[in-house]
Amino acid sequence: MKIVKPYAQIAIKPKYNMGILQTIEDAARISHRSEDGQTDESYQRFIEAVVMKKGDWSVVEHVSLSVDFCVDRGITHELVRHRLFSYTQESTRFVNYEKKMPPSFIYPKPDVVCEYCLAGNPTRYVDIVGKAPVWQHNTSDGRFLGDCAYIAEWLFAIDNIEASYRALLKQGWRPQEARSVLPNALASRIRMTGNLRSWRWFLMMRTTTETHPQMREVTIPLLKEFQDFIPILYDDIIPNRSQAEATALRH
């Protein structure tokens, strides 16, 4: 059983012959034919006045970004509800988790971490008479390392599911059929591409207190990456606000 840590990170950073904010300013100035007013430093004042204060957000749509996510299938279902983005997702029809790679799973409680599992050390069920079920980690020569931090019921469920999936493939089922037993906990790669305005709405909606904890686990670091990579446009988004407060900033 392979358990992985979820993430979201900017996949492809656009390379423009000028900076991202300068590219937006360059397009926006066409409306007033004020191209001659653009200087090396004018973008900061321009973006603050035209986009942030006046609210002309359509001009930021001239720049797009792709983000790579590795999240469970419950979270990919939530991602693809955002209709203005383009997606490519790892396919449970075409990836054979027996031949291509073993399936990976994500533990649904972000605050519970088993460093042994995440380092790739296999967890094994140990039957100790008179004790509650426990899964443990050992060294390759059998020395006890520590108890697995994940709850036994979840580990049993995933272990059984993985065994059933493999058994169905052995009996001739195709991956697109055997996938019916795979759980929401299955880790999935998905690339999501959209313009900077769409990302703003997404990051506002998906970093609030109402957001699923597994979504917030990856979107809050992603928001920070956006804020570090692109000045100004995302600075007013603060994680862990209520959705009503967050979306009051909407443009």
Ligand X SMILES: Cc1cc2nc3c(=O)[nH]c(=O)nc-3n(C[C@H](O)[C@H](O)[C@H](O)COP(=O)(O)OP(=O)(O)OC[C@H]3O[C@@H](n4cnc5c(N)ncnc54)[C@H](O)[C@@H]3O)c2cc1C
Q: CA of 183: how far to CAs of 123, 157, 171, in Å?
A: 19, 9, 20
For ligand X, which residue of 32, 53, 83, 99 counts as binding (CB under 6 A)?
83
Q: Strand, helix or coil at 37? A: helix
Q: Choosing among ligand X, Zn ion, none, which partner's interface includes residue 81 (Cβ < 5 to 8 Å by kind)?
A: ligand X
Partners of residue 66 on adjacent β-strands = 12, 193
Q: State the Cα–Cα distance between residues 37 and 111, nearest whole angstrom.
A: 51
Of 33, 53, 81, 143, the residue at the interface with ligand X (CB under 6 A) is 81
CB of 215 to ligand X, least distance (A): 8
Stretch that binds ligand X, among 26-34, 77-85, 111-119, 126-134 (CB under 6 A): 77-85
Look at residue 83 and give the partner it binds from Zn ion, ligand X, none, a contact being a CB closer than 5 to 8 Å depending on partner kind.
ligand X
Examine residue 245 and tell whether it contacts ligand X (CB under 6 A): no
Inter-residue contact 183 to 100 (CB < 8 Å): no
Task: State the binding partner of 249 from Zn ion, ligand X, none, CB within 5 to 8 A by kind.
Answer: none
- Under a CB-based contact definition with an 8 Å cutoff, are residues 8 and 221 in contact? yes
Q: Which of residues 178-217 bind ligand X (CB under 6 A)?
A: 201, 205, 210-211
Q: Which positions lie near Zn ion, rule CB under 5 A?
A: 114, 116-117, 123, 148
Minimal CA–CA distance to 51: which of 193, 196, 223?
196
Q: What letter would DSSP give residue 186?
A: B
> Among residues 113 and 220, whose Cβ is nearest to ligand X?
220
Residue type for position 231: P
Positions touching ligand X (CB under 6 A) are: 81-84, 201, 205, 210-211
